[in-house]
């Protein structure tokens, strides 16, 4: 419902990222209608260029088993809703004896998932990868029972020059085609056209199922948060970053945390999500006053194309 057809108030403005209708936009402001328990959307999409501090809604929204859309942490941020980030994947690593570790990943083609190198670097190379979900309920040790699609794979390709904080990138190859639908879609990668683009001053979104804080457990529900992208010069006062990294400020008490590793940092180009980073490392305390560090995707396009035999 567009706002020009409903009376609307603005008790708590929030952002929706994702296709809502056929208007072609992907980022909208949503308002609560006055006389009905529905949300309406702004008529046209817009580009997010700065952080909006008034992102906490005062009402609940229910859809396909999702409870209220609130401002719980990624650390910091909001819960996602179905189909909002159809490129997201849970990368559930099987360590043996019922033990697992978790990362995020992104679908980049019908067979390939992009993730962080440290998510695959040591230990058993067996992964349960789940697509098309917001809620992780139903994921067991090596099986999944839920509305999404799950695949087991043991084909993980780590960058040959991987180090703990450098070249932190890997690819997972799926045993069969990922079935694309509304809730499962590939993301566009920042390719050669973005080699000289710094993104400094833009606002990025980080997405994942990671911890709510340094002492919290991983969340069952997908979350996202907006973070300002800062220069590598500013970031280098905290971390030994190179041109292969991109950094975000944590000055708004939001951050990626453990379990978000391998997930994306995205911006929007013509209202289309564009992955520019992969969650790599940061302070162990979440949220932190130190920047978050991401693998800069564009610097690895050659390697991604070499491995996948695809063009991005």
Residue 198 C-beta-side C-alpha neighbours within 13 Å: 11
Determine which one of 159, 261, 280, 283 is catalytic.
261
Has 23 been annotated as catalytic? no
Has 280 been annotated as catalytic? no
Residue 75 C-beta-side C-alpha neighbours within 13 Å: 26
Asked whether 280 and 168 are in contact (CB, 8 A), the reply is: yes
In whole angstroms, give the CA distance from residue 165 to residue 144.
Answer: 32
Determine which one of 92, 118, 159, 245 is catalytic.
118
Secondary structure element (H or E) that encloses residue 118, with its range = none
What's the burial of 77, exposed, middle or buried (CB within 10 Å: 0-12/13-18/19+)? buried
Asked whether 285 and 176 are in contact (CB, 8 A), the reply is: no
Tell me the H-state helices in 186-231.
none
Has 118 been annotated as catalytic? yes
In whole angstroms, give the CA distance from residue 58 to residue 84.
Answer: 20
Phi, psi of 232 (to 5 degrees): -65, -30
Determine which one of 42, 109, 159, 168 is catalytic.
168
User: What is the b/e burial string over 32-45, where b = at least 16 CB atoms within 10 angstroms of the residue's CB?
Assistant: bbeeeeebbbbeeb
Residue with tokens 């990368």: 91
Secondary structure class of 306 (helix, strand, coil)? helix
| Residues noted as catalytic | 118, 168, 261
């Amino acid at each position: 419902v567009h706002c020009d057809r409903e009376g609307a108030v603005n008790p708590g403005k929030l952002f929706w990222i994702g296709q809502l209708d056929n208007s072609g936009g992907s980022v909208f402001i949503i308002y609560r209608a006055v006389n009905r328990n529905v949300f309406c959307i702004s008529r046209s999409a817009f580009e997010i260029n700065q952080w909006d501090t008034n992102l906490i809604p005062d009402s609940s929204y229910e859809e396909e088993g999702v409870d209220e859309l609130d401002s719980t942490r990624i650390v910091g941020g909001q819960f996602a809703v179905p189909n909002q980030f159809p490129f997201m994947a849970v990368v559930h690593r099987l360590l043996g004896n019922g033990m697992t570790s978790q990362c995020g990943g992104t679908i980049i083609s019908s067979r390939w998932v992009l993730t962080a190198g440290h998510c695959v670097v040591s230990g058993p190379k067996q992964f349960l990868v789940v697509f098309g979900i917001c809620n992780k309920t139903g994921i067991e040790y090596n099986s999944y029972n839920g509305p999404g699609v799950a695949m087991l794979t043991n084909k993980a390709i780590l960058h040959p020059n991987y180090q703990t904080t450098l070249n932190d990138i890997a690819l997972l190859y799926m045993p069969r085609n990922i079935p694309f639908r509304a809730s499962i879609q590939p993301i566009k990668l920042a390719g050669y056209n973005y080699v000289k683009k710094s993104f400094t001053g833009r606002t990025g979104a980080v997405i994942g199922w990671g911890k709510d804080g340094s002492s919290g457990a991983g969340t069952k529900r997908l979350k996202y948060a907006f973070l300002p992208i800062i220069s590598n010069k500013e970031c280098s006062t905290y971390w030994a970053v190179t041109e292969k990294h991109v950094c975000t400020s944590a000055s708004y008490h939001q951050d990626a945390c453990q379990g978000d590793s391998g997930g994306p940092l995205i911006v929007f180009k013509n209202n289309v999500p564009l992955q520019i980073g992969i969650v790599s490392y940061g302070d162990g305390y979440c949220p932190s006053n130190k920047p978050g560090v991401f693998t800069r995707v564009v610097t690895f396009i050659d390697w991604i194309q070499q491995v996948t035999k695809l063009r991005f």
